Amino acid sequence: MEVALRRPAASIARNAANPQSLRLCAATNLSSRRFSILNRPPPKYPGHVPLTMLERAGLAIGSGLMSLRDPRRGDLIAAFAEATATPYFIYRLRDAMLSSPTGRRILRDRPRITSTSLDLARLRSLPKGTVGRTYVEWLDREGVSPDTRSAVRYIDDPECAYVMQRYRECHDFYHALTGLPIVREGEVALKAFEFANTLLPMTGFSVFAAATLKPSERRRFREIYLPWALRNGLRASDIINVYWEEQLERPVEELRRELGVEPPPDLRAIRKAERQRKKEEAAQQARTTQ
């Protein structure tokens, strides 16, 4: 027992004589501690919030259930997307970018999509039918802005965090490319398309919101927009690899052909025709009851 106690004492004495060794020992002990709520590691990028596995699971379940009740809560959808993207799916999407020369350039440049970086006023002056003009017309028609996307917080790897941010900021370009509006029916259709193309769990989970649609909308989704989304999402090139900032002056139809995306039937026109039909039927019924 005496011998056993002497060795640690001698080791401590040697370390005390060597401050660098003490610092290394302390760093090793700190890094070997298990990640917990009371021992949270420092953030890896501005805004990053490291989560334990239990916290990540709670965030995924809570945000997922609440976003199904209110699909307009973009903050909940964003949190659910980040909580469920790891450990596999966001790395798969990052690897898809690394396998493409354009995707690698995007990862290197890390551009951000904002109203300032895109210069929306210039896009409105582009010829009709170009990618940029189509995009800004869609923004104006839907009354949305590219500046409202939440910052990524819950993905640990900084490069993968940027991949999620890029996907999030490109979402409106996907709307413009397909022509789908931001009404719930259009969002569900676009999420089905994104799931087939990116495999992000949040996009697949969002498709279950189809259960909250009206009966006529569910029928349209089942018969028209779900088959379109799966067919186009699976056959299209990886849309995460589109360097949109370099495509703004191209004809949008040319880009659609290059990517392998055919626009679906005009949902706004279908909804407008259905409202008109119901209005005429109500007027006809009112006349017959007089």
Per-residue pLDDT, 38:
67
What does each C-alpha distance from 105 to 102, 108, 242 come to in angstroms? 5, 5, 10
Per-residue pLDDT, 36:
60
- Cα angle value 97/153/57 (rounded, 5°): 95
Whether residue 198 is contained in a domain is answered as yes
* End-to-end CA, the chain: 107
Whether residue 223 is contained in a domain is answered as yes
Whether residue 22 is contained in a domain is answered as no
Task: Please say whether the dihedral angle defined by the alpha carbons of residues 223, 225, 228 and 230, taken in this order, is positive or negative.
Answer: negative
Whether residue 211 is contained in a domain is answered as yes
Whether residue 289 is contained in a domain is answered as no
Per-residue pLDDT, 74:
76
Per-residue pLDDT, 192:
96
Whether residue 256 is contained in a domain is answered as yes
Per-residue pLDDT, 14:
44
Low-confidence ranges of the chain (pLDDT < 50): 1-17, 19, 21-33
| Residues of the binding site | 171-172, 175, 187
Whether residue 20 is contained in a domain is answered as no
Whether residue 290 is contained in a domain is answered as no
Residue length, the chain?
Answer: 290
Enumerate residues 6+ apart whose C-beta is below 8 A from 147: 114, 115
SS (H, E, C) 91-133: HHHHHHHHCCHHHHHHHHHCCCCCHHHHCHHHHHCCCCCEHHH
| Residues of the binding site for Zn(2+) | 171-172, 175, 187
How many domains would you assign to the chain?
Answer: 1
Which domain does 65 fall in, by range?
53-262
Per-residue pLDDT, 19:
47
Q: Which two tokens stand for residue 143?
A: 């009354």
